A and B are shown apart, each in its own frame.
Chain A
Amino acid sequence: MTDATATTAGYDAAEEFLDRQSPIQRLQGILHAYPWLSPAVVLVIALIIFSSITSLFAQPGNLGTITQQTAVTATLALGQTLIILTAGIDLSCGAVMVFSSMVMAKLAFDQGVAGLPALFLGILVGGIAGLINGLLVTRVNLPPFIVTLGTLGIFTSLTLLYATGRTVRNRELADELKWLGKPVLLPGGFTITYGVLVMIALYLVFAYVLRYTAWGTHVYAVGDDPDAARLAGIQVNRVLLSVYATAGVIFGIAGWVLIGRVNAASPNSGIDANLDSITAVVIGGTSLFGGRGRVFGTLIGALIVGVVDNGLSVAGLDEAYKRLAIGTLIIVAVTADQWIRRARA
């Protein structure tokens, strides 16, 4: 039912047709089967360029730093990938993340809730926020873009009202909330944090779930063609609702990663996080039209943004080029997606 299996099966059955394809068509076919391939090539090129500009870039310490700088966006982008796979979009993800992080931090600091229950409740708030988005999409039948544009404003306001403009600082935070900021020393001088490990673990879990469970297959099917999915007996709305709620939980966990990263819970965080997450998903080769994409592509997409951001800075180049580079990558990625999709026709 997923793209990969369908295409591979198609190749096997039509071996003789493959030989008649031009090299371009063959490339089209390969990119269609492996959507993460082109972003991986871009990432490698970016790494090579920055390493050749300055020797400071490829130091293990700096590469570890990039993964830390990418952890929050990458976690958010994982939830965003699930939603975009269903041909939806979530503009409220950053607001949900910050709301969750403020709930955890303030419950523990102001209300005297113990660290772990506060953490759990904060993630639960993320899940509820996602559920609200999902209900509006499936029950009220509003387009996800509009739903999440609205809830972006609502969740941002709730955060500001709840936080009363106050940051919960390092020494005021419960220890459990700061776990993910603790460093993990890897051989070779790489330093990452537990937050990076949690992010990678989430990617592994969802890569497995999307590929090997019925739910994963249903997510792709609903995104690819909701009518066909319905005819095939999939309860489309139930799948969509579960996707939004699951993504909300991931955004809540991103709030935890964010606290570990910043060592504070600030209502000012994550202003552009929603766009950053969509950027990572799109550059990572997931189709905005749904049904095609891999979570590891998103991880690579997030890393590309992190590498360009850090590389320009360490190389002493103007940061304005970052937006130019990332903007160009988005256009190229979506153009490539349109072109690759034609491989199926």
Chain B
Amino acid sequence: MARWNSTRGVGRRSATLLGVAVTASFVLAACGGSSSGGGDVSATAGSSDTAAAGDKIAVSLITKDSTNPFFVAMQAGAKAAGEKQGVDITIASGKAEGDDQGQIDAIENAISTKQKGILITPMSTGVNDAIEKARAAGLFVIALDTPPDPADTVDITFATDNRKAGQLIGQYAAAALDGKKAVIALLDIFDDKVVSVDYNRDQGFLEGMGIPVGDGKVNGDEPKTGKYTGGKGGDYEIVGNEATGANEEGGQKGMENLLAKNPNINVVYTINEPTAAGADAAMSAKGKKPADYILVSVDGGKSGVEDVKAGVIDATSQQYPLKMAELGVQAIVDIVKNNKKPEVTPGLDFFDTGVTLIANTPIAGVDSKDPQYGLDNAWG
């Protein structure tokens, strides 16, 4: 019989044991902080149990996950800013990229505990409804890192201009090719979900190379062959787009699959630096040296910039998650205490927290900073 269906013989002794275990886990959870977010709750700064009733401002930070160093840095930044400003920060997140439900739960928790505001890196348009519900309940909602679609779903976004981040590495790749034919691999996050970070970096990269992108919000609809106009210009061929989940494992697998389609790939775009590390592993397994191809990425995390310094990644667009979190906390304090609303960057529908191209080998005509600058300003 199916043993895992049977519940026979849970004796009194085991019931007691179970009771002890359950109690212990609650005690443990309580020690970990009185967090009230949904999904994958990891920690709470300060004591949020007094926040709802007291005069202290309580704010939730809801990231996509709690393991990506980018979001870990953002959480640390928000907690530090919260302590300085006297704001209680509740940390919550989805379980992983794609876990909309985890974020929705956390938003609902922020509403029901009567918090003043939410800082969120929206997973997808799937969480828009929940955000609107929060705003209708009087919460001030700020998007960090990822502008929602449409942008006015939230009060304001503090983010990297991901389009520009993509364009910078595209320009660098085109210039580095020096007129050679480009055989391009595109390592995205998803192929079954549309996320603004995903298409802005990918399509921005192609724009930077001077390749016509078709619908700028759709990955993979551009012509597969033609001419790029960036740098000295030349022929290009796109081998394919692969979904990687933005991690090492996915980057490696995606790169392997594209190399099976065309072993002559010499330009690799990656959604972030862990993906780039995976792509590098697949390339070196095929006996390719970093000098044989151009690998570009976005993020500017410490290990990513070290990869730039080591020559594994040729160029990366560095972004600033700590700044996003600090500005976000500050903005909520301003709106609650002084009724002062933040303004978007002129010409954009969000506040641009800046992006810098980091490259080991500077190329004439493309502005970049050296890896040391990158390390001095790196997060995580």
Contact = CB atoms under 8 A, between A and B. Distances in A.
Nearest to B239: A316
A52 interface: no
B192 A320 contact: yes
Interface residues on A, range: 35 or more
Contacts of A264: 248, 274, 277-278
B10 A165 contact: no
Interface in A75-90: 86-89
B260 to A, nearest CB: 4
Nearest to A236: B3
A62 B260 contact: yes
Interface in A305-328: 310, 313-314, 316, 318-320
B303 A169 contact: yes
B53 interface: no
By secondary structure, the A interface counts as: loop
B261 A87 contact: no
A316 B310 CA distance: 34
Interface stretch (B103-111, B249-257, B317-325, B348-356): B249-257
Interface string A221-263: 0010110000000000000000000000000000000000111
Contacts of A89: 4
Interface string A254-298: 000000011110111111000000000000000011100000000
Given A267-B67, A313-B257, A262 B248 contact: yes
A81 to B, nearest CB: 15
A322 B174 CA distance: 35
Interface residues on B, range: 35 or more
B69 interface: yes
B88 interface: no
A166 B249 contact: no
A140 B14 contact: yes
Contact of B3 (A56, A87, A166, A310): A87
A5 interface: no
Given A69-B253, A167-B69, A160 B42 contact: yes
Nearest to A83: B4
From B3, B8, B65, B380, residue with most partner A Cβ within 10 Å: B3
Interface in B1-24: 1-11, 14, 17-18
Given A166-B69, A170-B277, A191-B285, A268 B247 contact: yes
Interface of B: 1-11, 14, 17-18, 40, 42, 65-69, 71-72, 96, 191-192, 240, 242-243, 247-249, 252-253, 256-257, 260-261, 263, 274, 277-278, 281, 285-286, 303, 306, 310, 380
